[in-house]
């Protein structure tokens, strides 16, 4: 870990250093990214955790913020049929997010920024914020649900459907951490007669509407780093806007 990075990550700091930074007005970033959730045959279980760490560090470079350790367990019910994939109940996950956010507010963080790399986690995080003591001081940064991200996906993707370990997510990983991607193992999701439907993926039931023996929901074979670079730029713009914090360049100008 570089000195610059360690000055932003609370895991590398002492408590009195954290207290001083918060007293000077630093925001608190709480990253959410699964560490035990299948991402096809071609990407690691920690894919969401990799994204959470990357975007948290990128955000903390742009604004005055400290990064708390990533919450690596969450509400991921669609993937539990795949070995190693762990999901908390929605209630347990929601309670954990609320309690952590409340603790960060209690420490006098000016604002809590919940950086959320999931889709099934969005609703329980929203509920967790409502249940918090001071919801007005908490912002939900939905990494894969921002307007620029969604527009970029519509413009770029060649797959007819997808949202998990697919063309777009794999493209992003090829940009952020290409060494963790094995494209020789990427497999598209078979198309069922009626198309995909909401609900869990199945690794071993060919009659299931979301039969996905590889674990991918979509076609990761269409992924490229060039697409990933455009997706990354869109996410960064969405994230900075959603954070609602002055950037370091704006602070310098003022």
pLDDT by residue (tens digit) across 178-233? 999 999 999 998 866 566 777 899 999 988 889 999 999 999 999 999 999 999 99
Q: Quick: pLDDT tens for 41-63.
A: 999 999 999 999 999 999 999 99
Q: At what angle do helices 47-62 and 167-176 cross, to 10 degrees?
A: 60
The Cα 107–Cα 15 span in angstroms is 11
Per-residue pLDDT, averaged over 147-157, amounts to 97
At 120 the pLDDT is 97
CB contact set of 7 (below 8 Å; sequence gap of 6+): 13
Per-residue pLDDT, averaged over 155-184, amounts to 96
List, in sequence order, every beta strand (DSSP E) within 73-205: 112-116, 138-142
**Cβ–Cβ under 8 Å, residues 33 and 117:** yes
Sign of CA dihedral 142, 79, 39, 2: positive
At 246 the pLDDT is 85
The Cα 97–Cα 1 span in angstroms is 26
Show the CA angle centred on residue 48, arms to residues 43 and 50, nearest 5°.
Answer: 80
Taken in order of first residue, the domains within the chain and their CATH numbers are 3-247 (3.40.50.10310)
Write the DSSP string, 4-23.
HHHTTBGGGS-HHHHHHHHH
210: three-class secondary structure by DSSP: coil
The answer to whether residue 91 scores a pLDDT higher than 80 is yes
Per-residue pLDDT, averaged over 231-248, amounts to 94
At 191 the pLDDT is 65
At 47 the pLDDT is 98
């Amino acid at each position: 870990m570089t000195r610059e990075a360690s000055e932003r990550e609370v895991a590398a700091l002492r408590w009195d250093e954290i207290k001083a930074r918060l007293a000077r007005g630093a925001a608190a970033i709480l990253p959410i990214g699964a560490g035990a959730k299948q991402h096809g045959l071609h990407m690691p279980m920690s894919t969401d955790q990799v994204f959470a760490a990357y975007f948290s560090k990128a955000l903390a470079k742009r604004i005055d913020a400290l990064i708390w350790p990533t919450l690596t367990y969450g509400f991921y019910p669609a993937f539990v049929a795949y070995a190693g994939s762990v999901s908390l109940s929605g209630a347990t996950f929601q309670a954990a997010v609320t309690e952590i956010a409340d603790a960060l507010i209690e420490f006098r963080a000016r604002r809590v920024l919940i950086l959320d790399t999931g889709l099934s986690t969005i609703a329980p995080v929203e509920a967790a914020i409502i249940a918090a003591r001071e919801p007005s001081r908490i912002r939900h940064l939905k990494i894969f649900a921002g307007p620029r991200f969604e527009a970029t996906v519509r413009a770029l993707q060649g797959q007819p459907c997808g949202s998990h370990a697919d063309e777009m997510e794999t493209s992003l990983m090829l940009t952020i951490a290409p060494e963790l991607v094995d494209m020789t193992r990427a497999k598209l999701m078979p198309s069922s007669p009626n198309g995909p439907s909401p609900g869990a993926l199945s690794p071993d039931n060919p009659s299931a509407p979301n039969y996905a023996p590889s674990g991918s929901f979509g076609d990761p074979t269409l992924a490229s780093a060039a697409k990933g670079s455009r997706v990354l730029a869109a996410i960064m713009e969405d994230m900075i806007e959603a954070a609602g914090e002055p950037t370091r360049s704006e602070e310098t100008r003022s």
